[in-house]
Chains A and B, each alone.
Chain A
Amino acid sequence: EIVLTQSPATLSVSPGERATLSCRASQSVSINVAWYQHKPGQAPRLLISGASTRATGLPARFSGSGSGTDFTLTISSVQSEDFAVYYCQQYNDWPPLTFGGGTKVEIK
C-alpha cells in the first residue's frame, strides 16, 4: 500500500499570502496524484488531477506540481474561501486508493 504523508499538518497563513502544501509518497506514483479541498459540512471538491491539471472552473491561484514521490499544491494568494483541509490522493497503484492525512489551512 502506498502511504502519502502530507505536511505540514496545519498551515497558518494570512489572506493574500502564499500557501505551499506538500504530499510525499512512500514510492513513486508517477503523476497520478489528485488534490481535494474539504470544508466542514461540505462535500470534498476536486482541485487537481494528474499532479498539475486544474479542475474545471478552479481559480488560477491554485496550482499543482511534482512527480515521482514529491508533490506540491500551491495557493498563490490565499483568499478567505480557501481556508479548509486539503488532501492528496494517489491512483497510480491501486487498490487500495490512498489519501494523505490532510493539511489544514487556517487563518493566521
Chain B
Amino acid sequence: QVQLQESGPGLVRPSETLSLTCAVSDNSISSPYYWAWIRQSPGKGLEWIAIIYYSGTTYYSPSLKSRGTISFDMSKKHISLRLTSVTATDTALYYCARGRGPVFDSWGQGTLVTVSS
C-alpha cells in the first residue's frame, strides 16, 4: 500500500509563491499512474487543481489562472506543486493523490496552507 506524505510551509504571505511536496513511499512514481493535487478550502468541498501523468503530461484547473506548476522528481520520488501569487482564496488543506486513471485510490493526509500577512 503506497503512502503519500504532503509537506509545505504552513503559512504563506499574500502574493508570494507556495511550494508543496508529496513524498511517495514506493517506486510507483515511475509507473503509469496519474498524480494529482486536490484541495479543500475551509468549509468547502474538494477541488481538483492539477494533475501529472507519469509520461510528464500535465493539466491544470482553469481556476488557477496559469499560476500553478506540477512536476515530479523520480529520483527523489516526489510530486511537487508550485503556486505563484497566492491570495487568501488559496488557503486550504492540500492533498496529494494517485490513481490509475483520473480516479484516486490513494491519498495523503493533507497539508494545511494558510495565506495571510
Residues of A within 8 A of B (CB): 1, 34, 36, 38, 42-46, 49, 55, 85, 87, 89, 91, 94-102
Do A87 and B45 touch across chains, with their CB atoms under 8 A apart?
A: yes
On chain A, the residues within 8 Å of B105 by CB distance are 46, 55
Contact A87 B46, CB 8 Å, known A43-B109, A43-B110, A55-B105: yes
Chain B hits for A42, CB < 8 A: 109
Contacting pair A102 B45 (CB below 8 A)? yes
State the main secondary structure of chain A at its contact with B: loop
Cβ-defined contact, B107 with A97, below 8 A: no
Report B20-49 CB contacts with A as 1/0, cut-off 8 Å. Answer: 000000000000000010000000011110
User: Which stretch (B11-19, B54-62, B72-80, B82-90) binds chain A?
Assistant: B54-62
Q: Judge whether B10 is part of the interface by a CB distance below 8 angstroms.
A: no
**B62–A96 CB distance below 8 A:** yes
Q: In the complex, how many residue pairs between chain A and chain B have their CB atoms under 8 Å apart? A: 58
Residues of B within 8 A of A (CB): 36, 45-48, 51, 59-63, 95, 97, 101-105, 107-110
A1-B62, A95-B61, A96-B62 known; A46-B45 Cβ under 8 A: no
Residues of A within 8 A of B109 (CB): 42-43
Say yes or no: B59 contacts A101, CB within 8 Å: no
Pick from B61, B97, B103, B107: contact of A96, CB under 8 Å: B61
Of chain A, the residue at the smallest CB distance from B4 is A43
Q: A98 to chain B: which residues have CB within 8 Å?
A: 48
- The CA-CA distance from A51 to B85 in the complex, in Å, is 38
- Inter-chain contacts of B101 with A (CB < 8 A): 49, 91
Residues from chain B with Cβ under 8 Å of A87 in the complex: 45-46
